[in-house]
Chain A
Amino acid sequence: NAGVTQTPKFQVLKTGQSMTLQCAQDMNHEYMSWYRQDPGMGLRLIHYSVGAGITDQGEVPNGYNVSRSTTEDFPLRLLSAAPSQTSVYFCASSKRSRDSSYEQYFGPGTRLTVT
């Protein structure tokens, strides 16, 4: 199993540009989520999904969209990039959602810089 994969690893955007961060998992996990981690800070939840076709907002959803058309894929779209969105983005998956006892598996992260 590849686990959780994210592309790209690095990205530089200009203010106002849009892009999609890709996330895929091959573990047949129901739950997938996107986090951002600013330098020296903890993780903040952006959006999450409890299964194909079902998504919901996390703590910091503004400026981001998600969709979940398949169990495997959970892309994150930046609609109009802003410097405040400069961060490292992590995708994670786990077997279940409503229970922190299920181990979350994290991807390697995408480092995004918005100039």
Chain B
Amino acid sequence: LAKTTQPISMDSYEGQEVNITCSHNNIATNDYITWYQQFPSQGPRFIIQGYKTKVTNEVASLFIPADRKSSTLSLPRVSLSDTAVYYCLVGDRGSNYQLIWGAGTKLIIKP
């Protein structure tokens, strides 16, 4: 199965840019890499997805190098409300296709 690795936790301050990196191997060649956000007592919520290079939407950017062995979620100018757990999601390259979730990075934003 594909394997993902994310930092367990990160701290930052309001107004800073935060970058969270997920390392992944054996991912499906033609599949996107996706990131989700989860608040306590809620289900995960889609943030952004990408295949290669850089993708930007209204809340985040996603950087994916050419070898696709990692991806970096960038949150610009974070606020206290960005305190959450962030997950990367990839597709497995194996024949028994499955979606593989990272273990999650707990991001704490301080005032």
Residue ranges of A at the interface with B (Cβ–Cβ < 8 Å): 4, 41-45, 48, 58-59, 90, 92, 98-101, 103-104, 106-109
- Among the listed stretches B10-18, B30-38, B74-82, which one makes contact with chain A, having 4 or more residues with CB under 8 Å of it? B30-38
Q: Evaluate contact between A108 and B43: CB separation under 8 angstroms.
A: yes
User: Which residues of the other chain, A, contact B49 by a CB distance below 8 angstroms?
Assistant: 100-101, 103
Q: Evaluate contact between A99 and B32: CB separation under 8 angstroms.
A: yes
Residue ranges of B at the interface with A (Cβ–Cβ < 8 Å): 28, 31-34, 36, 41-46, 49, 51, 87, 89-91, 97-99, 101-104
Q: Evaluate contact between A108 and B97: CB separation under 8 angstroms.
A: no
Other A-B contacts than A44-B101, A99-B91, 11 sampled, CB-CB below 8 A, are A4-B43, A42-B103, A43-B101, A45-B98, A45-B99, A59-B98, A101-B34, A101-B49, A106-B43, A106-B45, A107-B43
CB distance from B49 to the nearest CB of A (A): 5
Q: Evaluate contact between A108 and B42: CB separation under 8 angstroms.
A: yes
Interface of A is mostly: loop
Minimum-distance CB pairs A-B, first 4? A106-B43, A101-B32, A42-B103, A103-B46
* A47 vs B87: C-alpha distance when bound (angstroms): 20
User: Which residues of the other chain, B, contact A44 by a CB distance below 8 angstroms?
Assistant: 101
Q: Evaluate contact between A98 and B34: CB separation under 8 angstroms.
A: no
* A92 vs B42: C-alpha distance when bound (angstroms): 12
Q: Evaluate contact between A109 and B102: CB separation under 8 angstroms.
A: no
Q: Evaluate contact between A43 and B42: CB separation under 8 angstroms.
A: no
Q: Evaluate contact between B44 and A106: CB separation under 8 angstroms.
A: yes
* A104 vs B99: C-alpha distance when bound (angstroms): 11
Q: Evaluate contact between A41 and B103: CB separation under 8 angstroms.
A: yes
Q: Evaluate contact between B43 and A92: CB separation under 8 angstroms.
A: yes
* A6 vs B59: C-alpha distance when bound (angstroms): 28
Q: Evaluate contact between B43 and A98: CB separation under 8 angstroms.
A: no
* A99 vs B104: C-alpha distance when bound (angstroms): 20
Q: Evaluate contact between B98 and A42: CB separation under 8 angstroms.
A: no
* A24 vs B51: C-alpha distance when bound (angstroms): 30
